[in-house]
Amino acid sequence: MSAKTYFTVIRHGETEWNRDGRIQGSRNSDLTIIGKRQAWALGKRFAQTRFDAIYSSDLKRAWETAVTIAGAGEDAIRKDVRLREANMGVFEGLNRDELESKYGEEWKQFLLGDASSCIPEGESYNQFEARILEFFREKAELHKEESIAVITHGGVLGALLRATLEIPFERKRAFSHHNASVNIFTFYNGKVTLGTWGDISHLEGL
């Protein structure tokens, strides 16, 4: 019988570009004061939790959140570029008004929800989802009957949720992926199930 792998997938704390409504994608943006407090709250929540492995996106916002969670065990965190946010190409660094002004047609095309369409200088949703699922399936095989922490991005969480619940990219997003949220997925016998989505109970009082 196939063994289960338990993934606790965590989104990074709030960043300056999250606050300003700018698309981050594969670029770096610093955690805000709130984002640092959110990361601290995650560290407190998991202070007594033993993970068999911790993986993080190599982007600064995810790495800083992961270090806070890992505490003195920073050297145990493994970076993986497949956990990066979607490459949003020419859209990165822009807010909605700037997108409509500079890349109106490209932005309209993106909003149509064509999973095979590539953002200029970026990647398509199909390419994005493929690298994410490759990571999780690979680690599920490597870490059977283990509990794994993954610190990553909102888009990664969204793609994993869509794949798990079979929600096509063409269907407009009707779910939230909060900063510093805790989300639990189980991989078993080639299938994925969702256990917890969007848990931010540790942020109460911030």
Q: Which residues are catalytic?
A: 12, 85
Q: How many CB atoms lie within 10 A of CB 82?
A: 19
Gap between the Cα atoms of 101 and 169, Å rounded: 25
What is the Rg, in whole angstroms, of the alpha carbon atoms belonging to the chain? 17
At residue 168, φ and ψ (nearest 5 deg) are -65, 150
SS3 144: coil
For residue 129, the surrounding DSSP H or E stretch is helix 125-142
The SS3 assignment for 4 reads: strand
Structural contact between residues 120 and 94, judged by C-beta atoms closer than 8 angstroms? no
Q: Tell me the C-alpha distance between 65 and 74, whole Å.
A: 11
8 A C-beta contact, residue 186 and residue 193? yes
β-pairing verdict for 77-79 and 53-56: parallel
SS3 198: strand
The one-letter code for the residue type at 13 is G
